[in-house]
Every structure is written in C-alpha cells, then in structure tokens.
Structure 1
C-alpha cells in the first residue's frame, strides 16, 4: 500500500478509517530511517539528530501507551471466547514490551558513543517493522471486523487526551514532515478547521525551524 493510498479522506459510515494509524506508523518508519542514515554517517551525536530521536521516542510512547491502556483491553472484551484473536492481542502487547529494552539499549549506546550503535539501530528498525506489519496485516482487520466507527472515535479521543493540545502541535507537523504536498493536503483536510489554522499559522513553522534530524 502506498502512502497516498493510506491517506483516505472519507469512508463509508459503517467502515473504520485507519488513516491516522497508517500515517503515524509511516512517521515511525521515516524517523528511524533518518536516524540510521545519521548514525551511518557518524553523526548520531548531532544536536538535531538527538532532538529527532527524543521526539521519535515521545511519539512512539504516546501511541503504544494508548493502545495498551485503551485499545487492546477493549478488543479483548469484544473477542472474549475467541482464542486465536485473544492470542493476537497478547502478541501485540508482547511486541510492545520487546521494544522498550531495545529503545533503552539504543539510548545507552547513543550517549556512550558506542561502536554497536548502528547495529542496535538496525535491530530496532527491524523489530519495529515486524510489529507494525503485524498490526497492519492482522490487528487492523480484526478491529475492522469487531469495532464500529463510533468505537474507533473512542480510541481517537483517548489519543487526543494523551497528546493534549501541546502534543498535537508537534504531532500534526511531524506527520506531514516529508510527505508529498498533495498527500499533506489530503491529511490536513481531515483535521478540524481550528487545528488546520493553528498548524498553518504556528505549528508547522515552529516544527520545521527545529530542523530535526539535520546534520
């Protein structure tokens, strides 16, 4: 599935739209690719690279925390008595848990300037990619089959409560960072008008002025 195909601006009222999930996943992939390139160039210690890494960790933590606290428990209730589906949800939680020590290993190696940093970054990329693909290929179809768009709005509201306005001011321009202009316009069109205005007048420029990942 291409990035353009992921960004859907409308859908049938009885079908969940996963645009925000897909573009967030793609943001994780993009950031780790940038991190790997910086580390390969021997610039993992550049200030903007470190800032990019810290922002990546923040976005990943918010995303996984809300999934663990809100999404997986509700899905478990909906698929009670279905062993295969319950096993899938246990796998989602286990994959999140595997990522935490990997993030800590990369953090340690980054601060120490350790020689194994490139290997650890690639291990993190590979592990996260396996999880994201598993979620996209198996968990999202399960969600589509047992949850309603109204249910999904509950997840979106939980994510918004976790992010708050301050988090949204970074998340929105972070999502569009590196997107083709047409894709960015399609994504931004999904947002409430006040958020689009704030992004245009303040958030996007402030985010881009930081030059995350530059070295």
Structure 2
C-alpha cells in the first residue's frame, strides 16, 4: 500500500539540475573535438570541465540509487519495471563514465587528434544515453516522487547529493544551477538555499561562473 503523503514536494528543482547536464552534454563533445595538439593549457581547462560534470552526475545518481529508487519501489505498485529500467540506465551510464574518465589524464597531457575524437565520441554517446534517461525520469519518475515522497524526503534526497560533492565545488555547482534557471526558478532556488550560499553567489559565485564559462568557450 502506498504511504499517505499529505504535503507534496516540489520536484521541479530536479528539472533545473537536469538542465545543467543537458547543457554540458551539448557543449563538451565539441569542446573536446576542438582541442589542438600541444595546447595542453586549453586541454586542461576542458578536461576539468568534463571532470566537474562527471562529479556532479555521480553525486546526482548516487542519491537516486541509495535513496530514491528503493522508496519508490516500495511505495508504487505496478512500477517495478520502470524503476528497474532506471537502475539499468544508471548502470549503462556508469560504464560510459568509466570509459571517458579513463582517457582524461592522457587527454590533458597530450590532446592529439585521434584521442580528442575518441573522447568526444564517448561524451556524445554518454550525452545521448543521459538525455534519454532524463527525459524518461522527468516524464515518469518525477510525478511518482511528487505523489509518494514527503517534502522532508525530497529534501533529504538533495542533501545526499550535496554531501557527495566536495565543499570546494559547492558554490560552483550552485552557480551553474542559477545560470540555467529562469528568473522564477532562480528565486525558488535562492529561497531554498542557506544564507551563506545566497551571499556567496551574489558576491562572487555568479561572476566566477561567467568568467569560467567565457574562458571555456574561448571568449
């Protein structure tokens, strides 16, 4: 029997998180493909952006594996196939992440063209699988989460993700979310964020993000 939930969580924040991954998946393969032999400074910059995206993806997926899937499986009669498919997609994504990660150190040290093409193709495949996964998650899983999780549980899911990210990267991650959010979404994120995060984002976070993104795009 499904647990009775009297107050539904606002699950739209996951759509904003997904948007950051969609943006990275669209841009990173071409940034890698555009690296030139010998330009290790540029390669290190692009590789660091890839590593940051993969770190965020791991934190995001670990929270779902450890917290979300077990609760939905226990509370949603008839959705076992959907949950199993989500878990299988995560396993495939882990394989693709491992492939990409294994080549990044070499890419940063020696961005020769064949390796750039290899990593760019791997990132493109990762992006295609991840995008399909996020599409299904937004259409199928998020409505289930809104119906069967409490507000406190949804907040705990986010806290698990944040705990997987090194503290030195938290402001950067928050700034990335704010950069892709609409004005209304940005206001909601600011309302939910702790006061130190709000202050740091206004003081340094958004400007640092803008400068980093400009360097990454060669502007």
Identify whether the pair has TM-score above 0.5, normalized to the shorter chain: yes
Describe the superposition over 1:116-158 as per-residue Cα deviations: whole angstroms up to 9, x where unpaired. Answer: 3333222111111111011111111111222222332222333
| 2:59–2:162 Cα contact (<8 Å) kept | no
Cα 1:118–1:160 change in 2 (3 A) is closer
Q: Is the CA contact (8 Å cut-off) linking 1:75 and 1:143 kept in structure 2? A: yes
Q: Which residue is 1:154 aligned to?
A: 156
- Would you say the 8 A contact 1:16–1:148 is kept in 2? yes
The range that moved more, 192-201 or 102-111, is: 102-111
**1:71 touches 1:155 (CA, 8 Å); kept in 2?**
yes
CA distance in 2, matches of 1:152, 1:202: 29
**Counterpart of 2:80?**
86
Contact 2:67 2:157 in 1 (8 A): yes
Contact persistence 1:50–1:213 (CA under 8 A): no
- Supply the distance in 2 between the matched residues of 1:118 and 1:160 (Cα, whole angstroms): 28
Alignment partner for residue 90 of structure 2, among 93, 96, 114? 96
Structure 2 counterpart of 1:132, from 131, 134, 140: 134
The aligned runs of 1:10-159 (5 Å cut-off) are 14-42=7-35, 46-79=43-76, 82=77, 84-110=78-104, 111=106, 113=112, 114=115, 115-159=117-161
Are the structure 2 counterparts of residues 157 and 179 from structure 1 closer, same or farther at C-alpha, using a change threshold of 3 Å? closer
Matched residue of 2:90: which SS?
helix
TM-score of the aligned structures, taking structure 1 as reference length: 0.78
Query: Which has the larger share of helix?
Result: 2
In structure 2, the residue corresponding to 1:15 is in which secondary structure? coil
Relative to the length of structure 2, the TM-score reads 0.77
Deviation digits for residues 137-195 of structure 1 (CA, Å, limit 9, x no counterpart)? 11111112222223322223333433464442221112123556675455434423332
SS where residue 95 of structure 2 aligns?
helix
How many residues matched? Answer: 200
RMSD of the TM alignment (CA)? 2.7
**CA apart distance, 1:106:** 2.6
| Structure 2 residue ranges without an equivalent (≥5) | 1-5
Moved more, 111-120 or 143-152: 111-120
The farther-off stretch of 23-32 and 35-44 is 35-44
Change (3 A) 1:214 1:140: same
Secondary structure of the residue aligned to 1:16 is: coil
1:213 to 213, 216, 219: 216
Deviation at 1:61, TM superposition (A): 0.7
